[in-house]
Structure formats: structure tokens, C-alpha cells
Structure 1
Amino acid sequence: MNVLLLGGSPSAPSTTWRLQQLVGARLAALGHRTNALQVRDLPAQALLRADTSDPAIAEAVALVHEADAIVVGTPVYKASFSGVLKVFLDLLPQDGLAGKLVLPLATGGSQSHMLALDYALRPVLASLAPRHILPSIYATAAQLPWDPDKGVLPVSVIGARIDAGVEQLAHELEGALLRKAAGSLSALAPASATLHA
């Protein structure tokens, strides 16, 4: 299945993006294809004008459309998700996440920003009609220390939440794959029955 890592951090390097890459690597190890989209790399003028005719914007929207699941990541600023992510989500049609699984991730300076995922980001994601929004993962920068050689090394409590989030998303993707295969078989069944009649 195809998973899109949708990065909503305006800065680089980004603790949020490091967390997303860790989740993406875990999903890839389980056999899922991953693509990456950093909103900050899109042309700013076309993004702000919601110019979906711009080739880079059109390609970004197509990546969302083609994904089976989206891992959305954002830093938390002023008790909400990043403005650059909001601008991109506003580009999507009303049903822009229809049929998709969504795993929201966020990072912030303190635990006091944790509820921003549920009160700010989740309602916006829900308005785009995803099939299911999984439980969010929130971590502070201190809980995601970075080692130049080993990469991000989550503290145990966050590591456990990441493991649970990846496991749930992988399970949901496997279920979606089985449903898709069953649908393909049932579509073929009438033709087979006609051949044997």
C-alpha cells in the first residue's frame, strides 16, 4: 500500500520531519511504499494563491490522491498546527482524503500543546472525509533526541506510542488491501459463472 509522509514544518532541520521519517522507515520495513511531500518545498506564490494549475502544486495534490494512507506531521505553534500545512490542506477538495487512513503526528515545546492535535488539526482533517483518523502521536523535542549517527532516538514512552501507531496503521492498511482484493474477486465472479453456465 502507498503511504504519503506529508510534512507541515516550515523549518529544516525539523524534529517533526525526523519523527515522520522514523514512522515512514518502520512502515517501509513492513513492505509499504512511502512517498514524501514537504509543503515548504512547494512554490510559495502558487501555494498561497491556491494555484492548482501550477505543475508542482498539481503533482502534490496528485500524491495525496494516490495515497492509501497519509502520515501528517506538524509542529505546534500558538496552540495550533502550522500555517503552511493549513494552506496546503485548503487546496484539497472537500473530499480530498476520502477513503484514506490518516495518522497525525505533532511536535512542540511542551506537553501543554498536546491537545492542539485534537482541537485544531483533527477537525480540519475530518472535514476532508478520511475513512479513519488514527490516534495522534505528540512528542516534545526533548522526547526525540537526535544522534548524528543513529538518527532520532525516542524516549521509551514515545517509542511505545510510535510502535503502537505504526502497528495500527499497518493493520488497517492490510485490512484495506484484503477488502480491495475481495472486491476484485467478486467483480470477476459473475463473468466466471457465465463461462461455466
Structure 2
Amino acid sequence: MATVLSVSGSPSAASRTARLLRHLDARLREQGHEVIPLDVRTLPAEALLGADFAHPDIVRAGSLFERADGVVIGTPVYKAAYSGLLKSLLDLLPQHALSGKTVLPLATGGTHAHVLAIDYALRPVLTSMGADHIVQGWFTLDRQITVEADDTLTLAPEAERAVTRVLDRFSAVLDAPRFAAAG
């Protein structure tokens, strides 16, 4: 069983991005993974914006990254890039915080014009942070995510299939045996 850190970079409490992540967290748990949710918006703004590397909440967030085998990073797309809130956290993590990790990037947004934000904005940062394997991510349109009256999330069928496919690929990489280098 792998430990997965599920990071929402949305600043909104009613975020479709966060709701999508928590929906996928349940699926990862069903697949046998331990999932730890992290909503970056719950971290102190003063610590994030003031680059307070020693703040206990920032240190705790860093330890969650250390503990994880895999990281799911979800972000809304604003102005063709991932959220500034997510950027603030990533800037406070050690340079190689994703070393040894498998990462699944996910994004949500209002238009297909932002679909490349994962590959051109987020992926280079994840790579620079040492991610061992960044699986193919997915961009989901806001209109494909519906929150029902009972607070359950429903995805449009095409989005459901696509997100299931990338999540299963991520899970398969986490479940694959890792071989130690012969020495």
C-alpha cells in the first residue's frame, strides 16, 4: 500500500478542484492506498507569503511530502497557469521535495484555452523538484463537474472516463515493484 498526498492548490473553500480531489481520494483508498489530503488554503497566509520556512505548519506540510510515495496535485487554472497559492507552497518546499515520488497533476478551469497549463506551467516545476515519474495529467472543465444538493460530486461521463484512466495509471505506477540498484 502506497501513501498518497493529495494536494489542493485552490484558494476557494467551495472549489471544484478540491472536490474533484476528494472524490479521487476515495477511489485511491478503495484501491488500497493511504491518502492524506492537504488543502493549501488552510495553511497560514503569513507563512506562505512571508516565506516562513520554519513555521510549524509549513514544516508539517513538508513532512507530508517526505512521507508520501505519490503526490496528486490539483489546481484551478488562472490566467493560463496554476494557482499562486500552490506556487507559494511549492516555493517553500526543499528543492528536491518530489525526489522518489510519482506525481499526478490535475487541473480544472473554465475553458479549453487553459488545457496546456499542466504541461507548460506545472510540469516543469514538478520536474525541477525531482519528481521521479510524472504521469500524464488531466484538465477537467468546470462545467464537467457538478456538485449535487447532497454535496456529492458528479462528473460528466467523458470526464469520468478520462479521470479514471489517469488515476488508474497513477495507481499502477505506485503499485509497481521498485527494484533497488545492485551495489
Once superposed, what is the RMSD of the aligned Cα atoms?
1.5
Match of 1:26 in 2: 27
**Is the partner of 2:13 in helix, strand or coil?**
coil
Match of 2:137 in 1: 136
Shift, 1:150, TM fit: 6.3
The structure having more radius of gyration, on CA atoms, is 1
Structure 1 150/9 Cα, relative in aligned 2: closer, same or farther at 3 Å? closer
Shift, 1:145, TM fit: 1.2
Any residues of structure 2 matched to 1:124-163 within 5 Å, and which?
124-149=125-150, 151-163=152-164
Any residues of structure 2 matched to 1:27-176 within 5 Å, and which?
27-149=28-150, 151-175=152-176
**Residue type matched to 2:173 in 1?**
E
**Is the partner of 2:38 in helix, strand or coil?**
strand
Fraction of identical pairs, as percent: 44
Shift, 1:155, TM fit: 0.8
Over residues 53-88 of structure 1, what are the superposed CA-to-partner deviations in whole Å (9 max), with x where a residue is unaligned?
A: 111110011101111001101000011110000010
Given the two structures, how large is their TM-score scaled by the length of structure 1?
Answer: 0.88
In 2, the alpha carbon distance for the partners of 1:166 and 1:156 equals 15
**Residue type matched to 1:70 in 2?**
V
In 2, the alpha carbon distance for the partners of 1:122 and 1:95 equals 14
In 1, the alpha carbon distance for the partners of 2:72 and 2:168 equals 13
Over residues 97-144 of structure 1, what are the superposed CA-to-partner deviations in whole Å (9 max), with x where a residue is unaligned?
A: 001011011110111111111111111111101011111111111111
The structure with the largest helix share of the pair is 1
**Is the partner of 1:94 in helix, strand or coil?**
coil
Q: Which runs of 5+ in 2 are unaligned?
A: none
Pick which of 35-44 and 142-151 moved more.
142-151
**Is the partner of 1:45 in helix, strand or coil?**
helix
**Is the partner of 1:103 in helix, strand or coil?**
strand
Aligned residues: 181
